[in-house]
């Protein structure tokens, strides 16, 4: 059966990661450092420490890939908190503008 094609893997976005892949801790730097300020403000969304994006602008519908990164409070290891894919027009990220992305929950 050499003619069989491998089954195509399907991906669901956003893909989120709630714990450090290095040590398993669920405490992130941003959550620990801003806990009191977030509680005082009644904030439910966690700001993102770092983000990276790539836009593949070929054809009518550009594809934008966004990765949101966090740092573990316990071991200091960096890790991806969320991976997102957008097709078409640039999405509004909660009205916060660049550098103020929120981690999806």
Can you give the pTM of this predicted structure?
0.70
pLDDT value for 1:
53
Write out the E strands in the chain. 15-16, 50-56, 63-71, 78-87
- Average pLDDT along the chain, 105 residues, taken 10 residues at a time: 72 92 96 91 86 89 93 96 85 45 60
According to the model, what pLDDT value does residue 23 have? 98
SS3 53: strand
Residue spans per domain, the chain: 15-87
What's the chain's length in residues? Answer: 105
Q: What is the dihedral of CA 61, 65, 101, 12, to 10 degrees?
A: 100
pLDDT of residue 9: 77
Q: Which residues does 64 contact at the CB level (< 8 Å), separation at least 6?
A: 53, 54, 55, 56, 85, 86, 87, 90, 91
Burial tier of 20 (Cβ tally within 10 Å: 0-12, 13-18, 19+) = buried
């Amino acid at each position: 059966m050499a003619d069989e094609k491998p089954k195509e893997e399907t991906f669901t976005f956003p893909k989120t990661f709630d714990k450090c892949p290095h040590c398993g801790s669920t405490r992130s730097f941003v959550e620990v450092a801003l806990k009191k300020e977030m509680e005082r403000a009644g904030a439910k969304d966690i700001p993102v420490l770092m983000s990276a994006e790539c836009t593949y602008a070929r054809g009518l519908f550009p594809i934008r890939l966004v990765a949101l990164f966090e740092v573990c409070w316990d071991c200091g290891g960096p890790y991806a908190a969320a991976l997102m894919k957008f097709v078409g027009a640039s999405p509004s990220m909660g009205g916060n503008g660049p550098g103020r992305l929120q981690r999806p929950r």
